[in-house]
Amino acid sequence: MSKKRGLGRGLSALLEHAETDITSNLRTDAVNQVVGGIADLPIDSIEANPFQPRSHFKKEPLIQLAESIKNLGVIQPITVRKLGRNQFQLISGERRFRASQMAGIETIPAYIRIANDQTMLEIALVENIQREDLNAIEVALSFQRLIEECDLT
């Protein structure tokens, strides 16, 4: 029987030993990043997570979150992976990312790490399953992707 790698242990278990890309040449003051550190990234340098299991985002809570971000800023950083020079892909924090776009902010705090597609799918699934409002179809489709794309059972 194979050892459980991360599913069912929470998001912190997947991020615990994460490598961080510190070679970024950003347009912001985040050039001197440290391993496990957080950088303020230009929001237009981040693309959505193609593995996001949530297909529906309720409009009113997003508007409320956008208002909170306008007033207080982003309290919890998003997590991204580096794609190329000045290009990143969202791993977790889709609601914060979308609300920040709605709020019109130019930069967002982000934890930068190296992650392959399987890790991205695992993190997105774990983060969203722990939320109560992910519907059963979204959970099932996410598990199906893990089985088919990552050969996990």
Each of the 153 residues of the chain gets a pLDDT tens digit; together they read 444 454 555 555 555 544 444 334 444 444 334 336 789 999 999 999 888 777 678 899 899 999 999 999 999 999 998 887 788 999 989 899 999 999 999 999 999 988 888 888 888 777 767 665 667 787 787 778 777 777 766
Of 19, 47, 60, 94, which is the active-site residue?
Answer: 94
Give CA–CA dist 85/87, Å, rounded. 5
Domain boundaries, the chain: 20-145
Q: Which fold has domain 20-145?
A: 3.90.1530
Instruction: Identify whether 60 is a catalytic site residue.
Output: no
| pTM for the model | 0.66
Query: DSSP labels for 118-139?
Result: HHHHHHHHHHHHTSTT--HHHH
